[in-house]
Amino acid sequence: MSMTKIQITNTELYGMPGYAWNMFNRRIRDKRVEQTPIQKTIALCLTYDTEIYDYRDWGGTDLLEEEDIDAIDTRDWFHGHLDFFDFCETNDIDIDELAQALITVNMPEFAENLNKAAKSRQDDICHEADVWYVDNADDLLDAIQVYWRSKFDEIFEIVDENYTMRPPKDGFWVGMFIVAIFFILMLIAGTTNPDGPPVLLMSICASGLVLTGLILALYAIRWKISVIKDVITVCSPFRAKRIIRFDELSFAHTHRKGVIIYAQGKRLFLVSKAIPGFAYTMFVAQLNMAEKIVDKQTAGFIVRQPKPTIIAGFIWPLISVWVLIWVLQRQMNPANIYEKAFFSAAVLASFWYLAHCLLWKVSVLENSIKVRSSFGLETEYQITDITKVEVTKQKMTVSVNGKKAFKVAITCDAYQDLRKKLQNADIPV
């Protein structure tokens, strides 16, 4: 058993209201940990309060509205002193020790009321003690909080932030499931009909899916973000380890999936809400403490292709390649060269579409908009130079200095943010 102080970080203390109090309550409830005199004093007072009111939460829930003070001993949510004395006998709580704890938190009136009921243990005397308790119950919880704050340095020890964020394990198991299923299918296809054209197509498909599963599993294993004090270490399967300090971050903004982090105007990584455990909440609180989460309408955000479009960008090249392989394996005569050329062009167009889905993006900064095309070329436009914005049912067309500059589909992620940004800049949309 340990009587050491409770360790807490500055982020948990100042950036997460109520966390220190809840952590303290969990600590004094833990029977495996030996309590200090201060912890035991508060634990006794809180036990008294919560057992009298069985609905009351140790976080300080307000009392229910009292309709009839004379009927309090008949309410299901009110135990009263008689029931509390039975509870003390069952749980080895000493009444004299509890009374001394109430005096220690500067509530001698509660100690006197408790002793009066404990000595008589008669219905009428205990009922009077219950009535007095209900009239003054909020004062007790306030006194406990005041005493707790006055002993803060003796209860808590401030330590540096130290935690690691990892993706959910679901990604690993999904990846391994894909690998196992399609590896088996590939073996079956290769052994049943090794010479037929469909086998080659199935082998290519299965190989691609197996590779996808391996990448997904590898990502789930290798990806992590470690935070020690104010230093962030980002580990990714396909990029070199990067170390960056909190003061080097440009800004961050909340996203429906989590928080997107930027440094030097460039997007670094997305911290997902799905990260298990307490690390995500801690990271967001630390960003708030460092004032890095700002209004994305003024700081910046990115408009990308919607998910269905990106998925289609992956599917079309696969389909086109399969068809082209099938055409080439038919061993056609040279007269059908046009058919081969057509499907070859379809393959090239499909890969261009994939590149468009992956490369195209619109980066909206505070005073400018950067547009990256399908070929990776980037053009920057000043928001003050935008002269016209036309919106149809399918897309938004932005004109700069009287010329059409770029188009954004209304289904794109963050399209509404872009529209609001332009409207805030007094550009008619």
Asked if pLDDT for residue 220 goes beyond 90, the answer is no
Comparing 114 with 265, the larger pLDDT belongs to 114
399-425 pLDDT, tens digit each: 988 888 889 988 887 788 888 888 888
3-state secondary structure string across the chain:
CCCCCEEEEHHHHHCCCCHHHHHHHHHHHCCCCCCCHHHHHHHHHHHHHHHHECCCCCCCCCCCCCCCHHHHHHCCCECHHHHHHHHHHHCCCCHHHHHHHHHHCCCHHHHHHHHHHHHHCCHHHHHHHHHHHHHHHHHHHHHHHHHHHHCHHHHEEEECCEEEECCCCHHHHHHHHHHHHHHHHHHHHHHHCCCCHHHHHHHHHHHHHHHHHHHHHHHHHHCEEEEECCEEEEEECCEEEEEEEHHHCCEEEEECCEEEEEECCEEEEEEECCCCCCHHHHHHHHHHHCCCECCHHHHCEEEECCHHHHHHHHHHHHHHHHHHHHHHHCCCCHHHHHHHHHHHHHHHHHHHHHHHHHHCEEEECCCEEEEECCCCCEEEEEHHHEEEEEECCCEEEEEECCEEEEEEECCCECHHHHHHHHHHCCCCC
Domains observed in the chain: 6-159 (no CATH), 164-294 (no CATH), 307-424 (2.30.29)
Comparing 40 with 80, the larger pLDDT belongs to 40
Q: Is 294 exposed, middle or buried (0-12, 13-18, 19+ CB in 10 A)?
A: middle
Distance between CA atoms of residues 181 and 186, nearest Å: 9
pLDDT of 26: 87
Strand partners, 260: 253, 270
Distance between CA atoms of residues 420 and 141, nearest Å: 47
pLDDT bracket for residue 148 (50, 70, 90):
very high
Computed over every residue of the chain, the mean pLDDT equals: 79
Distance between CA atoms of residues 351 and 358, nearest Å: 11
Strand partners, 163: 227
Asked if pLDDT for residue 63 goes beyond 50, the answer is no
Comparing 52 with 193, the larger pLDDT belongs to 52
Which one, of 395, 371, 400, 396, lies nearest residue 383 by Cα? 400
* Section 286-305 average pLDDT: 74
pLDDT bracket for residue 232 (50, 70, 90):
very high
Task: Lay out the sheet containing 162-165: strands in order across.
Answer: 162-165, 224-228, 231-236, 239-245
Token digits of residue 214: 């391996």
Asked if pLDDT for residue 109 goes beyond 90, the answer is yes
> Best-predicted range by mean pLDDT among 232-241, 247-256, 320-329?
232-241
pLDDT bracket for residue 61 (50, 70, 90):
very low
pLDDT of 29: 82
Which one, of 136, 90, 82, lies nearest residue 74 by Cα? 82
181-191 pLDDT, tens digit each: 766 666 665 66
- 8 A C-beta contact, residue 198 and residue 186: no
Strand partners, 406: 398
Token digits of residue 411: 């289904």
Distance between CA atoms of residues 260 and 395, nearest Å: 25
